[in-house]
Each structure stands twice: as structure tokens, then as C-alpha cells.
Amino acid sequence: MLDFHAHQLLPRVLLIDDDMVSREVVATVLTMSGFTVHAAADGEAALALIESGDSKPEVILMDTQMPGLSGVRLLEALRGRSRAKVFAISATKPSNEILGATDGYLQKPFGSEALRKALDDFGPPVRLSTTPSGEDDPPVLKLDILQKFRETMAEDKVREIYTAVMNDLATRIPTLQVAFDNLDADTVHRIGHSIKGGCAMCGAAQVSRIGALMETVTFEPGSDQLDNRARLLRDLRTAVSNLERILKAEFPA
């Protein structure tokens, strides 16, 4: 759990996201902007924080796709325990049911200004820079996002974020290999979704795009994607290698 003390005029935030990279990036960005942030890795942990009194949020940021207690069921449980405003956060647009039940929607990647705007007006969905639809060759690393991090936090903290990204990817690739070998589409979709969201938050656009492709893969007989699984893994490893090379140049030992 992340627990930071910040400016008392800004609302207290409870962040619920099962993806470690997304959770760390969002918590860090909001904290550096003056928000008080508590973070939970799943719905059950979030409810435990509220029920124990350890977190008394005025704003809840809830990822819309998580294992276990999630979606409308989690939203209902949160409403029953807190009067906080609840915003859906996701790399893809949530269902109409979720959109209708929450107080707003923030599309990953988002920053503190997007949250401030959403709090001001609860208006239409807030969207910051993402890989444009149809872009075939996104950059390995969006340097504008890296620069924003460097403008708002210490260099060692920025390094920690990208180290966490690389460590996370290193643990996911072997699991993906097994899932592809076993034609386990659910695991491929889950990991692809996490890679897409987490890497988008830190500007790793090339890896994020491959995560998005994995999120939609099917293993039905006759499907072209059944034959493309080796290519997807190869492309992912190449993108991760590209990202590692750029990060070594940006953060020399």
C-alpha cells in the first residue's frame, strides 16, 4: 500500500488497480501533484482499507477489469461504504453499464490535470495522449511522457518506475509463453490487457500496442491468430529489447 501525505485542500484518493505498473505510475504522478493517495491491488483490499478506516477517500479511481471483485459488483460495494466520487479508469472504454454507474471516466494514460478537470465538471470522458487509432508503428518510448515524469519528480524515482516496468515485463513473458503453448486465451487476454495499460501509462507505446493485440487474440480452429502466436511473442520480445536499449541510454549506469 502506498500512503502519502499531501496538500489538505486536494481530495484524498483511493486508487484500485491490479496492474502494478499502472498503480505505481498513477500513485506517483498524483502524489507528486499534491494528492493524498492510498492504493489497493484489488477490490477486496480496497474495501478492507475503507472498512478499517485506514483510507477515507473523497475520490476513488477504479480499474474496470480486474480479477475477483470488480465492475458493477465492486462499484456497488464501494457505494455502500463510501460517499466518495467514483471514476472508472481503463485503457479501453468501459461498458455503458459502468459508464452510467460511475461519476466519470479517465482513459489511461492520464495525469493529475485530467483528474482535476474530471473533478471540476464530471463532464465527457477525459483523454490524454495515446497511440492514435490506426498508427502502425508507434514509438518505442514516448519521450514527452518521460519528460513529464522528469519535470515532476526526482530522476531516481523516474528510474524506479521504468525499472519496475522492465521487471514486470520480464516476469510476464514466460507466463505468456506457457499460455500460448496451452492455447489459454483467458490468460493471454489478461496479461495483454495489463501490458497495454501499464506500458501506455509510462509511454512504452510499442509494447503497449502488442499488449492490445494479445488482448484480442483467439485460438479458434482456422483462426489466423492461432498461427500468429509465435510472431506475437517474438514481436513482444523485440519491443521489450528496444525499450531496454532506449532506457539504458536515458538512464546510464
List the domain boundaries for the chain. Answer: 12-127, 143-250
pLDDT band at 117 (very low <50, low <70, confident <90, very high): confident
Measure CA 135 to chain center: 20
Residue 231 has pLDDT above 80, yes or no: yes
How is residue 229 written as a grid cell? 502466436
Q: Distance (Å, rounded) from C-alpha 58 to C-alpha 41?
A: 19
Span 143-250: which CATH code?
1.20.120
Q: Distance (Å, rounded) from C-alpha 217 to C-alpha 87?
A: 28
pTM: 0.72
Q: Distance (Å, rounded) from C-alpha 203 to C-alpha 149?
A: 10
67 DSSP assignment:
S
Per-residue pLDDT at 186? 92
Measure CA 141 to chain center: 16
Q: Name the amino acid, one letter, at 205.
A: A
Q: Distance (Å, rounded) from C-alpha 142 to C-alpha 163?
A: 16
Per-residue pLDDT at 14? 95
Assess contact for 211 and 188: CB atoms under 8 A: no
Average pLDDT of span 105-126: 73
CA atoms within 13 A on the CB side of 207: 29
Average pLDDT of span 2-21: 71
Q: Tell me what percent of the chain is helix, strand and coil, each rounded to the nearest 5.
A: 55, 10, 35
Q: Is the dihedral of CA 63, 64, 65, 71 positive or negative?
A: positive
Assess contact for 206 and 140: CB atoms under 8 A: yes
The SS3 call for residue 51 is helix
Q: Distance (Å, rounded) from C-alpha 92 to C-alpha 154?
A: 30
Instruction: Return the CATH superfamily for domain 12-127.
Output: Response regulator (3.40.50.2300)
Per-residue pLDDT at 77? 94
The DSSP line for 7-29 is -TTSPEEEEE-S-HHHHHHHHHH
User: Vertex 207, ends 86 and 232: CA angle to 5°?
Assistant: 120
How is residue 97 written as a grid cell? 453499464
Q: Distance (Å, rounded) from C-alpha 28 to C-alpha 116?
A: 16
pLDDT band at 138 (very low <50, low <70, confident <90, very high): confident
